[in-house]
């Protein structure tokens, strides 16, 4: 049974999300005419959050390509910075509700029924974030890079990782039981991933969660550890990075207020979808999505 302290923590976090969403409606400038023209955004929020919280790859893996498609079709007039800002803000809600579901689901299980230990779960989250957040915030506030060059390198690397996930799932890991505990060398690699992922996340709202999920999938850890830790990491990295875009006026609030309800629903149902899919199908779909979305972004040349 889930402890009372954990129930209270989850309840307070969900209340905080509700208050934050209400505050946007109250305080943010919202154009009713633009809201009517963007009526389809709740569906995009639902799709993005479901995929992101099922696989652990972060909502930006969906929102960035979709918003750029809509921009190219002149349905929305967001520039590249506004696309990233919207992705950050939407993930603050969608990935957070998903993080609560993954973490509370693990805590609710009896110790003997858990595929991953609480110690390993939270140690992965802590090590990655300790490395990622300082890099992410420093990149946002103190440095300037050419996002296009970084995107090409990051997506090229993501394609290799996505293909590796698919290949290892159906070859060396096909009949091998999942690793029960995280090996010390993997914590070292995850720390390095945090450094790289924090830099990329600052530029695109996605990166660190995607890299963590793909690496842990390749290393053949249980789904709850691969996807669950990646969702928690993505959530907290987006919350940390959202302030930059809010203070710099990059957020198109109409996009956020419409997409968030769908993102909350998608984030809530993603965990049972992931568990229903099972490890092999989830890893295969995740790898295929990463490869396809990466190829699309490279072809789009954003």
Say if 16 falls within a structural domain. no
Residues 6 or more apart in contact with residue 70 via CB below 8 angstroms: 76, 78
Q: Is residue 111 part of a domain?
A: yes
Query: Does residue 33 lie within any of the structural domains?
Result: no
DSSP letter assigned to residue 251:
-
What mean pLDDT comes out for the span 264-287? 87
- Residue 99 pLDDT > 90: yes
> What integer best gives the mean pLDDT of the chain?
86
- What's the rounded Cα separation, in Å, for the pair 69 and 64? 9
| DSSP annotation of 175 | S
Asked if residue 45 is part of any domain, the answer here is: yes
C-alpha span between 293 and 120 (Å, rounded): 30
Mean pLDDT of 210-218: 90
What is the CA 99 to chain-centroid distance, rounded? 9
Whether residue 4 is contained in a domain is answered as no
Predicted structure pTM score: 0.90
Beta strands in 195-235 (DSSP E): none
pLDDT (0 to 100) of residue 1: 47
Chain segment 231-261, per-residue pLDDT in tens: 999 999 999 999 999 999 999 999 999 999 9
How many structural domains are present in the chain?
Answer: 1
| 14 in a structural domain | no
Whether residue 147 is predicted with pLDDT greater than 90 in this model: the reply is no
Q: Do 6 and 107 touch, CB atoms closer than 8 A?
A: yes
> Rounded CA gap, 236 and 163, in Å?
27
Full residue range of the structural domain in which residue 180 is found:
38-300
For residue 13, being part of any structural domain is answered with no
Query: For residue 17, is it within any domain?
Result: no
């Amino acid at each position: 049974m889930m402890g009372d302290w954990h129930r209270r923590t989850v309840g307070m976090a969900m209340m905080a999300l509700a208050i934050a969403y209400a505050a946007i409606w109250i305080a943010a400038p919202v154009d009713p005419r633009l809201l009517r023209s963007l009526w389809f955004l709740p569906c995009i929020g639902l799709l993005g959050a479901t995929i992101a919280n099922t696989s652990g790859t972060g909502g930006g893996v969906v929102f960035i390509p979709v918003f750029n498609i809509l921009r190219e079709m002149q349905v929305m007039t967001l520039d590249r910075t506004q696309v990233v800002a919207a992705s950050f803000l939407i993930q603050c809600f969608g990935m957070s509700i998903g993080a609560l579901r993954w973490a509370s689901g693990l805590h609710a299980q009896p110790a003997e029924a858990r595929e991953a230990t609480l110690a390993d779960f939270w140690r992965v989250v802590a090590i990655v974030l300790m490395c990622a957040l300082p890099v992410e915030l420093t990149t946002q506030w103190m440095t300037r890079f050419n996002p296009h060059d970084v995107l090409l390198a990051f997506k090229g690397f993501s394609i290799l990782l996505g293909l590796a996930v698919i290949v290892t799932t159906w070859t060396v890991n096909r009949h091998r039981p999942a690793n029960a505990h995280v090996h010390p060398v993997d914590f070292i690699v995850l720390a390095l991933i945090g450094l790289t992922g924090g830099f990329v996340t600052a530029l695109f709202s996605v990166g660190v969660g995607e890299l963590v999920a793909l690496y842990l999938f390749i290393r053949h850890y249980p789904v709850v550890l691969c996807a669950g830790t990646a969702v928690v990491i993505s959530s907290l990295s987006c919350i940390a990075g959202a302030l930059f875009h809010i203070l710099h006026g990059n957020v198109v609030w109409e996009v956020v207020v419409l997409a968030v309800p769908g993102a909350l629903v998608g984030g809530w149902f993603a965990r049972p979808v992931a568990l229903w899919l099972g490890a092999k199908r989830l890893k295969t779909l995740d790898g295929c999505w990463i490869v396809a979305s990466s190829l699309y972004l490279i072809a789009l040349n954003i």
